[in-house]
């Protein structure tokens, strides 16, 4: 049986969270992150039954979520989420909770951090 995020009683119902996101025809990567984090979906990645011993990220839950995102949204949205959830957030979570990095991790897990970072302003086309 494949791993689901709903394996523990307090984990969110991933299908319900994704259904809320699908009400927007083209949700931004930021909206996807904020919705997943505010629902507890991001936090559930670190509370799984098979966490990585160093960073606490459950690879099965991450795979389940990335598969669901890849099915529902464009590849860029999935990759944006993956970078934050699998690299940046584990490093920030390793910091002391009262440090700026620890505070940023807590805010990201709650869906309040400015993640993913906004795209830079596009440059005007080069003159030819």
pLDDT at 69: 92
The residue range of the domain holding 64 is 29-110
Tokens 């039954």 appear where? Answer: 49
In sequence order, the 6+-apart residues with CB closer than 8 A to the CB of 6 are: 12, 13, 14
In a domain, 11, yes or no: no
C-alpha 92/C-alpha 86 separation (Å) is 11
**Whether the Cβ atoms of residue 33 and residue 81 lie closer than 8 Å to each other:** yes
Residue 88 lies in a domain: yes
pLDDT values of the chain reduced to their tens digit, one per residue, 128 residues = 444 554 443 456 888 888 888 888 778 888 888 899 889 899 888 876 776 766 788 888 889 899 999 998 888 888 888 888 888 888 888 889 999 888 888 888 888 865 555 444 555 566 66
Residue 20 resides in a domain: no
Token pair for 128: 């030819």
- Find the length of the chain: 128
Q: Specify if 36 maps to a domain.
A: yes
Cα–Cα dist 84/90, whole Å: 9
The answer to whether residue 98 is domain-embedded is: yes
In a domain, 21, yes or no: no
Find out whether 31 and 77 touch, Cβ atoms under 8 Å. Answer: no
Number of structural domains the chain divides into:
1
pTM beyond cutoff 0.75: no
- Is residue 61, in this structure, part of any structural domain at all? yes
- Domain annotation covers residue 35: yes
**Cα separation, 117 vs 106, whole angstroms:** 16
| 72 three-class SS | helix
């Amino acid at each position: 049986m494949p791993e689901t995020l709903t394996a523990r009683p307090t984990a969110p119902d991933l299908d319900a969270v994704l259904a809320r996101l699908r009400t927007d025809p083209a949700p931004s990567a930021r909206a996807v992150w904020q919705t997943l984090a505010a629902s507890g979906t991001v936090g559930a990645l670190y509370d799984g039954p098979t966490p990585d011993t160093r960073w606490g990220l459950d690879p099965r839950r991450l795979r389940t979520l990335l598969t669901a995102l890849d099915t529902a949204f464009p590849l860029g949205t999935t990759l944006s989420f993956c970078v934050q959830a699998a690299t940046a957030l584990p490093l920030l979570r390793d910091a002391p909770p009262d440090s700026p990095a620890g505070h940023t991790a807590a805010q990201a897990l709650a869906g309040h951090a400015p993640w993913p970072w906004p795209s830079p302003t596009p440059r005007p086309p080069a003159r030819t």
